[in-house]
Amino acid sequence: MSMIFGADSSFPSNTRLTNGYTLFDWVMRKNCFPAFWGRNILGENSITEEEIEFLKGKNCKVALIINHLSEADVSKTNGDADALEAAEAAKALNIPADGSTALFVDIKDDWTVNHNWMISFANALNDSGYVPGFIGNTDSSKNFNFDRQCGHYMQATKDMDEYGAIYWATEPKTDAEPTVWSPFFPSDFTVDKISIWRTSSVSVNNISANTNYAQDYSVLKYFV
């Protein structure tokens, strides 16, 4: 298997660091050339069309992330409004609403989440022309809630093919490049259902980026 290296950050990829590198170039220097870069589309330091063009100029695909929500938001029973807000942000960036692009909601490692929120969020996002994605702590020993709720989501949406949801794991952490595809996965899943694995991070003066691996090139079609 040939895993695909990428990154994600809450800072612009073209941020100029104190060492003279851009954040993009620093990640490349510390690892290798990233095939994709995840950036938030709402909230502080959200991505701009200019940064999208910067990354495209590097021949780097862009994964769009929703990371401004709170634990209270994702613990509700209805995610319609959150999905519609994200869809409008994507449209404002001129991202086509044609079912070809994923929007990933970042559920922080220690949060609880409600599977009904996940279902309604995914349904509304799908109706808006985008593919739902979920980033979460897939280590059940650290966050059994996400494990259980993600399983409930999968079972409840099986007839809808889970709305085509894409899963992004945050465990286990490893500084070394993985040699086998072994992210942790919810109990109702199999390892092949995890498309992206966030493994570690790099930082300079509190400006950081996470390192990731995609299972294969097929997920890149859902990026910008």
Q: Is the pLDDT of residue 1 over 60?
A: no
Tell me how far apart the alpha carbons of residues 51 and 60 are, in angstroms, rounded to a whole number: 11
> What pLDDT is attached to residue 66?
97
Say which DSSP state 19 is in.
Answer: T
The angle at the Cα of 128, spanning 113 to 146, to the nearest 5 degrees, equals 15
Rounded to two decimals, the pTM is: 0.95
Contact 131, 102 (CB under 8 A): yes
Q: Is the pLDDT of residue 196 over 80?
A: yes
| Tens digit of each residue's pLDDT (9 = 90 or more) over 64-121 | 999 999 999 999 999 999 999 999 999 999 999 999 999 999 999 999 999 999 999 9
Q: Is the pLDDT of residue 43 over 90?
A: yes
Say which DSSP state 91 is in.
Answer: H
Range of the domain at 148: 4-222
Q: What's the pLDDT band for 54 if we cut at 50, 70, 90?
A: very high
DSSP 95-132: ---SS--EEEEE--TT----HHHHHHHHHHHHHTT-EE
Q: Is the pLDDT of residue 36 over 70?
A: yes
- 177/115: higher pLDDT: 115
What is the number of domains present in the chain? Answer: 1
CATH of the domain at 44: 3.20.20.80
H-helix or E-strand containing 155?
helix 144-156
